[in-house]
Amino acid sequence: MTLGYENIIVAEDLDLTISQGDYLAIVGKNGSGKSTLMKTILGLVQPLKGQVILGEGFSRRDMGYLPQVFAVQKDFPASVEEIVRSGFLSSLGKRFFYTGEMKEEADNNMELLGLEDLKKACYRDLSGGQQQRVLLARALCATRKMLLVDEPVAGLDPEAQFEMYGILHHLNHNKDVTIVMVSHDLEAVDKYADHVLSMGEEITYR
């Protein structure tokens, strides 16, 4: 598969398989195509050549996405509960209101991520680590099968970084959630990832 924008190639000869329960880390220098690959998997960008083949019974609705911090409006004036529940928006169809089941699952995800006491708090008043947990809870409302996370600890203090990695590890090993993570943190990659895709002039996968 060849990745790029407007016929400008950023990565080519890319061939890999992601299986259920994998923890895949994508590493490489800036501009090597890491985030482009993430967006291509999500269907936000089309490959210049080749295709992303989804497994039987799996669709892009089964993917949850946690974007880079700078891509998120950090001063959004909404409550934690409202943002977490918004993960179900693509599933509402013609309905105008969240179902009781959706609300219960949102509550469960907030509890899983230690946000139950902050559900009425304003998102913009939270710390960086708390905001990331809110966005992760929202992504879990979109899916429990596969999470794509782009530099999930960027800008967080060491304690919040440790917490975020612990949550992702728990979701992967205890909830069988497939994790695809773009990261510059090679120490964390060595500790947590089952597979590593290194992008650059030479692409390697192990």
pLDDT of residue 97: 85
Q: Which residues contact 18 (CB under 8 A, 6 or more apart)?
A: 24, 146, 178, 180
Query: Which candidate, 179, 171, 125, 133, places its Cα nearest to that of 153?
Result: 133
**DSSP labels for 31-71?**
TSSHHHHHHHHHTSS--SBS-PPPPTT--GGGEEEE--GGG
Q: Are the C-beta atoms of 148 and 63 separated by less than 8 Å? A: yes
Q: Which two tokens stand for residue 88?
A: 């179900």
pLDDT of residue 7: 79
Q: Are the C-beta atoms of 108 and 194 separated by less than 8 Å? A: no
pLDDT of residue 69: 66
Beta bridge partners of 180: 24, 148
Could you read off the pLDDT of 4-59 as tens digits, one per residue? Answer: 877 788 888 889 999 999 999 999 998 888 988 999 999 988 999 999 999 888 88
Q: Does the pLDDT value for residue 90 go beyond 90?
A: no
Could you read off the pLDDT of 142-162 as tens digits, one per residue? Answer: 887 999 999 998 888 899 899
The length of the chain in residues reads 206
Q: Which residues contact 180 (CB under 8 A, 6 or more apart)?
A: 18, 22, 24, 26, 38, 41, 146, 147, 148, 149
Q: Does the pLDDT value for residue 105 go beyond 60?
A: yes
Cα torsion 44, 48, 54, 59 to 10°: value is 20
